[in-house]
Amino acid sequence: MPRTVAVVGAGPAGLVAARELLRAGLDVAVFEKSARTGGTWAYDPRADADPLGRDPAAPGAVHGSLYASLRTNLPRELMGFSDFPLAGRVFAGDARAFPGHREVLAFLDAFAEESGVAARVRLRAEVLRVRPLGQGQRERWVVAWRGEDGEVAEEVFDAVVVCNGHWTVPQVAEIRGIDNWRGKQMHSHNYRVPEPFRDQNVVVVGMGASGTDIALEVSHVAKEVHIATRYSDRLGKVGLRKNVWIHTEVDCIQDDGKIRFTDGSAVAADSILYCTGYHYHFPFLDLDGLAIDDNRVGPLYNHVFPPKYAPNLSFIGLPLKTIVFQSVELESKWVAAVLSGRSTLPGEEDMMAAVREHYRQMEEAGRPKRHTHVIMPNWEEHLNWLADQVGEPRLEAARLEMLEKAFWCAWSMDEGYRDRWEQEDDSGTSSL
């Protein structure tokens, strides 16, 4: 049975993973490349030198992708851990239903301290390489890491849990004719404040939760904001906004430099702001039989264990569009249960069969490969499956309802939903 475990990353996933591993009696070391814990929630006002952030290995590349004004897009009830809630408590003076990033970071700091995990974190310790100790081995792993003094050290662990986050390496839409573009381009990874877009015409590509928030924030200073999306059925000018339009996808940059949408309309713009998501990226892993293909990390048994290397190598936090904190906590409990022998995994062939079945179902449903880790709309099934592995309670109906409502609100182009959430509760107009 494994005794020593290396956790890569001290964001929410790494912190809760470490807590669960400690609880299971394992000896844990958490490697965190930055100067503090909290991961994404440690707002970083810096941006990459390249506004498109194309080279994650560039010197000074920034991990965080939060903007200064960011408030959570899930209510605080869905942002805590099961026995360490964010709901009903205030950590940095921000009691709002959808708190700002400082509140979440203060919550995570308190969690790290109270759980005893903080003492296990090595800060400014970047993991450079993770490899099995010997050819064909999966029981012991060598972790090469660089410390604050620049020295590289190697240490052997029984298991490695990868929690390095996946909101850092921009996915930038390829636009036909982009060579004709003379304006500016930025990915939301490097968006911090709206000021650089003052008095500009801006095309925002993508209309996920961040795209919607950023487009609305920019519209307060920009001349015009044009959102390009492949999903919306609400094309045209946005109701109450005087300067925001929703278009179909970007088709190309015309010879005259205008941006043309697939519906044939075109606009002249000063900037393109890509809110087009992120790539999974594990620069410290180069393992036979484990690959990223069109943002599918695989093969992974239920997004966590690569069958060939299970159980001593695992990944936490890959699922997208779910209750992230609940999902990483349940995944952590599962990994801890398996590593401590309280739970067993199926054999390698059976896990591979399950992965193949997942891919087959996706194909049958016409879902693209890049959506492999998108849990929506199968939240209930996925979270309950994890809960069942570790004997935790299943997803409560009220939480599911809250999640569905929050996702719907995030895409509603209604800037005030976060502040009305509780009023609606009180007046009884919402069932939450």
Distance separating alpha carbons of residues 359 and 299, to the nearest angstrom = 10
Closest distance to ligand FAD from the beta carbon of 247 (Å):
23
- 344: enclosing H helix or E strand: none
Establish if 32 lies at the interface with ligand FAD (CB under 6 A).
Answer: yes
Strand-pairing partners, residue 81, are 84
Establish if 77 lies at the interface with ligand FAD (CB under 6 A).
Answer: no
Kindly determine how many residues on this chain lie close enough to bind ligand FAD according to the rule CB under 6 A: 33
Q: CB count, 10 Å around CB of 117?
A: 24
Establish if 315 lies at the interface with ligand FAD (CB under 6 A).
Answer: no
Establish if 306 lies at the interface with ligand FAD (CB under 6 A).
Answer: no
239-262 burial, b for 16+ CB within 10 Å, e for fewer?
Answer: eeeebbbbbbebbbbeeeeebbbe
Q: Which residue in this structure is represented by tokens 């952590």?
A: 332
Q: CB count, 10 Å around CB of 101?
A: 22
Residue 246 phi, psi (nearest 5)? -110, 130
Segment lying near ligand FAD (by CB under 6 A), choices 131-139, 159-167, 252-260, 291-299: 159-167
Establish if 418 lies at the interface with ligand FAD (CB under 6 A).
Answer: no
Establish if 7 lies at the interface with ligand FAD (CB under 6 A).
Answer: no
317-334 burial, b for 16+ CB within 10 Å, e for fewer?
Answer: bbbbbbbbbbbbbbbbbb
Establish if 277 lies at the interface with ligand FAD (CB under 6 A).
Answer: no
Closest distance to ligand FAD from the beta carbon of 18 (Å):
11
Q: Which is nearer to ligand FAD, 173 or 352 (CB)?
A: 173
Establish if 31 lies at the interface with ligand FAD (CB under 6 A).
Answer: yes
Establish if 218 lies at the interface with ligand FAD (CB under 6 A).
Answer: no
Establish if 14 lies at the interface with ligand FAD (CB under 6 A).
Answer: yes
Distance separating alpha carbons of residues 368 and 374, to the nearest angstrom = 10
Establish if 160 lies at the interface with ligand FAD (CB under 6 A).
Answer: no
Segment lying near ligand FAD (by CB under 6 A), choices 50-58, 72-80, 149-157, 221-229: 72-80
Closest distance to ligand FAD from the beta carbon of 122 (Å):
9
- 297: enclosing H helix or E strand: strand 296-298
Sign of the dihedral defined by the CA atoms of residues 129, 135, 136, 141, in that order: negative
Establish if 8 lies at the interface with ligand FAD (CB under 6 A).
Answer: yes
Residue 197 phi, psi (nearest 5)? -105, 10
Establish if 33 lies at the interface with ligand FAD (CB under 6 A).
Answer: yes
> For ligand FAD, which residue of 5, 6, 7, 13 counts as binding (CB under 6 A)?
13
Closest distance to ligand FAD from the beta carbon of 146 (Å):
9
Site string for ligand FAD, 36-55 (x = CB under 6 A): ---xxx--------------
Establish if 10 lies at the interface with ligand FAD (CB under 6 A).
Answer: yes
Distance separating alpha carbons of residues 18 and 174, to the nearest angstrom = 39
Q: Which is nearer to ligand FAD, 132 or 261 (CB)?
A: 132
* Secondary structure letter of residue 304 according to DSSP: T
Residue 358 phi, psi (nearest 5)? -60, -45
Establish if 276 lies at the interface with ligand FAD (CB under 6 A).
Answer: no
Site string for ligand FAD, 316-335 (x = CB under 6 A): -x------xx----------
> What is the β-pairing status of strands 244-247 and 250-253?
unpaired
In sequence order, which residues have a C-beta less than 8 Å from that of residue 52 and are 6 or more positions away?
170, 172, 185, 186, 187, 190, 274
Distance separating alpha carbons of residues 386 and 323, to the nearest angstrom = 13
Closest distance to ligand FAD from the beta carbon of 52 (Å):
16
> For ligand FAD, which residue of 47, 51, 63, 211 counts as binding (CB under 6 A)?
63
DSSP letters along 243-261, please? SEEEE--EEEE-TTSPEEE
Q: Which is nearer to ligand FAD, 274 or 284 (CB)?
A: 284
Up-side HSE of residue 203: CA atoms within 13 Å toward CB?
A: 29
> For ligand FAD, which residue of 100, 165, 211, 306 counts as binding (CB under 6 A)?
165
Closest distance to ligand FAD from the beta carbon of 311 (Å):
19
Establish if 162 lies at the interface with ligand FAD (CB under 6 A).
Answer: no
Q: Which is nearer to ligand FAD, 261 or 284 (CB)?
A: 284
| Residues at the site binding ligand FAD, with contacts judged by CB under 6 A | 8-14, 31-34, 39-41, 63, 65-66, 70, 72-74, 79, 126-127, 163-165, 167, 210, 284, 317, 324-325
